[in-house]
Amino acid sequence: MSIAASALMCLALNAYWEARNQSYEGMIAVNQVVMNRVESDLYPNRICKVVFQGPTRASWKDPKKEYPVKNRCQFSWYCDGKPDDVRNTDHDAWKQAVKSSLQVMVNAHDDLVDGALWYHADYVNPKWTKDMIKTNTIGKHIFYKK
């Protein structure tokens, strides 16, 4: 798989798991946060590294294999302990995730998040938002920048 195809898959997986139950604009917004992080000095400069960022631990079976520490990743779906395969019943959501990811990768969509690097679901109230600037609310996500 080429680097570009791999990056598209990473971005699409993140859009799928973070926003599959939201609008197309919600997926675009989640993808834009990932791309903003790629451009930021605060985060890795590659899409897959941003999506899969978080502490790891060695496997107890094979110390050469690393696994994400549960509930400590940047994007919760990646280290929640559940399978990360696209569900057979979610073909439409997966198509939307891929399409939105491609659009954001080629910069073919207006900036919906005003440069935001962070977001959270609207049903939580994390302490880290107190010094942030809210940029937008799209679907069930609230977006922030400093």
Q: The whole model's pTM is what?
A: 0.94
**In the prediction, which pLDDT does 14 show?**
98
Q: What is the mean pLDDT of each run of 10 residues along the chain (146 residues)?
A: 92 97 97 98 98 95 93 94 89 96 96 98 96 97 98
**In the prediction, which pLDDT does 127 show?**
96
**In the prediction, which pLDDT does 54 show?**
95
Nearest-angstrom CA–CA distance, 57 and 97: 29
DSSP state for residue 86 in the 8-state scheme: P
DSSP state for residue 57 in the 8-state scheme: E
**In the prediction, which pLDDT does 88 show?**
83
